[in-house]
Structure 1
Amino acid sequence: MAVAPRRANRGPRAAPGNRAALIRAARLVFAENGFDAPLSSIARAAGVGQGVLYRHFPNRESIALAVFEENICEVETIAADPDATVDHVLAVIVAQLASSAAFIAMLDPAGTDDPRLFQVAWRLINLINRKLDDPDRRGALRADVTASDVIMAIAMLAAMLAKTAPPSREETAIRAWSLLERGLHG
């Protein structure tokens, strides 16, 4: 029986690369297999051992939070553009929902007591509030639409996508968001 050669231990220098590989792998694995996918499959997809995964992310919530954090950073980058309207921001969020089961799971922080999740979720809510408070950045949203309305529409979409098979999630997200936009735009 042949034994597979062991990879060389690159030590602490490998930590940032391993962490980034784990987050990329988690995004893919969660998208393909759902939020309950085995953590071992994330480690395998990242090309690291489970010990490395647990060194960076002690539980499922912490790795999902890292994916969520990256998603929020992408949304914040788009929102920082002075010409970006709330519609631009929402388009990025809908695209993320279609591709990231971790993002879907994190939009409903009720299932966890992790304060980091609430902090990141509040960043998203505050970002939407700021866009809505600026009349030039409201986009095509009706004047009576509040941030709570927008968050509710996003949560409704997330709930639907959480129950949608990954292969049809993007198409479903586009169709469902189109319907929700009609209500937000009037």
Structure 2
Amino acid sequence: MATSTAGTAAGTAAGTSAPRPMRADARRNYERLLTEARAVFAEHGTDASLEEIARRSGVGIGTLYRHFPNRHAMMSAVFQEALADLLERSRALAGAEQPCGALVEWLRALIAHAGEYRGLARALMSASAEKGSALAACSVPLRAAGERLLARAQESGAVRTDVSIGDLMQLTNAIALAAEESPEDGQLADRLLTLTLRGLKTDPTAVPSA
């Protein structure tokens, strides 16, 4: 998920408004840290040891913290590609013939993202209350994208007008967390989303399929 913007990504991940270009050696350290963070998060979840990530990257913990001042900053950088994919998906769905179906498809994509790494759903839920964190900042473009899809579904008359995108994003994280804690039930997330949709629709007897 490291991109051509790696030279400025450290500042972005830390939530600063004026990222500085990195020297070549600093860029290499940054990219190694991201690579190992993905591997360690995949193996041990997002609560994994930052010291282990630094060790695997061949750098000291001080170097890790210079690039990523806290865990949320590192997680934000790791998930930039997934964020870009979700935003692209929202743009592709923006003109869908069935606005409610488009919203449902996007919510399923959010649940899949939140469930990609153990602990991510819980971190996303807690980050929503930490407005200054890098991980919370990641949700800003997602909320805007989701609001557009939700507005179309509401304008079509399929979804209640008192539903907010903030509520929906919290619900998707909660569904992903429930599915994470019951891995033996592979259909739990879909069942919970279906139940949620029944509460969202103006006609609770009809639930759209993506």
TM-score, scaled relative to structure 1: 0.69
**2:172 maps to what in 1?**
154
**1:177 maps to what in 2?**
189
1:78 to 56, 67, 89: 89
Percentage of pairs with the same residue: 25
**Greater helix share, structure number:** 1
1:37 to 43, 48, 67: 48
- 1:95-144 deviation per Cα after TM superposition (whole angstroms, max 9, x unaligned): 22222246421232156463444332232222111112124998xx9522
Q: What are the within-5 Å matches in structure 2 for residues 17-166 of structure 1? A: 17-45=28-56, 47-50=57-60, 51-81=62-92, 82=94, 85-101=102-118, 103-104=120-121, 105-109=123-127, 112=130, 114-135=132-153, 142-144=158-160, 146=163, 147-161=165-179, 163=181
- 1:50-69 deviation per Cα after TM superposition (whole angstroms, max 9, x unaligned): 24322211222221222344
Other structure's SS at 2:23 match: helix
Checking the alignment, whether the CA contact within 8 Å between 2:30 and 2:67 is kept in structure 1 is yes
Q: What runs of 5+ residues in structure 2 fail to find an aligned partner?
A: 1-21, 97-101, 199-206
Relative to 1, partners in 2 of residues 1:16 and 1:80: Cα closer, same or farther, differing over 3 Å? farther
Relative to 1, partners in 2 of residues 1:80 and 1:21: Cα closer, same or farther, differing over 3 Å? farther
Question: How many residues end up aligned between the 2 structures?
Answer: 167
In the alignment, residue 39 of structure 1 is paired with which amino acid?
L
Cα RMSD after superposing both structures: 3.3
TM-aligned CA deviation for residue 75 of structure 1: 0.8
Q: What runs of 5+ residues in structure 1 fail to find an aligned partner?
A: 1-10
TM-score, scaled relative to structure 2: 0.62
TM-aligned CA deviation for residue 163 of structure 1: 4.2
| CA distance in 2 between partners of 1:125 and 1:158 (Å) | 17
| CA distance in 1 between partners of 2:145 and 2:160 (Å) | 18
Relative to 1, partners in 2 of residues 1:68 and 1:161: Cα closer, same or farther, differing over 3 Å? farther
